[in-house]
């Protein structure tokens, strides 16, 4: 996996119970649809809380995207 840590645009569903479900994101000029979220966990780095989503695309490509809760910015961390 390659570490990128680039800001990206994500389409996600924010439920009223606090759950977040990413649907798809834009990587350069392509739209990547998320087939399944395999793992969700929270990390706290220097006071910044991020929710990490390990996502599956096309049954073989794994992406790790992060949502920074304080700034509301999504990052593509690993590809």
Give 1-58 pLDDT, tens digit per residue.
778 889 999 999 999 999 999 999 998 889 999 999 999 999 998 888 999 999 998 8
pTM: 0.89
Those residues whose C-beta lies under 8 Å from the C-beta of residue 62, and which sit 6 or more positions away, are: 1, 38, 54, 55, 56, 78
**Ramachandran region of residue 5, left (φ > 0), alpha (ψ -120 to 50) or beta?**
left
Sorting pLDDT into bands at 50, 70 and 90, what band is 65?
very high
């Amino acid at each position: 996996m390659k570490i990128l840590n680039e800001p990206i645009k994500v389409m996600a569903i924010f439920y009223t119970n606090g759950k977040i479900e990413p649907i798809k994101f834009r990587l350069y000029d392509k739209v990547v649809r998320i087939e399944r979220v395999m793992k969700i966990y929270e990390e706290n780095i220097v006071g910044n809380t991020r929710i990490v989503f390990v996502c599956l695309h096309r049954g073989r490509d794994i992406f790790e995207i992060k949502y920074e809760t304080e700034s509301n910015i999504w990052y593509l961390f690993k590809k």
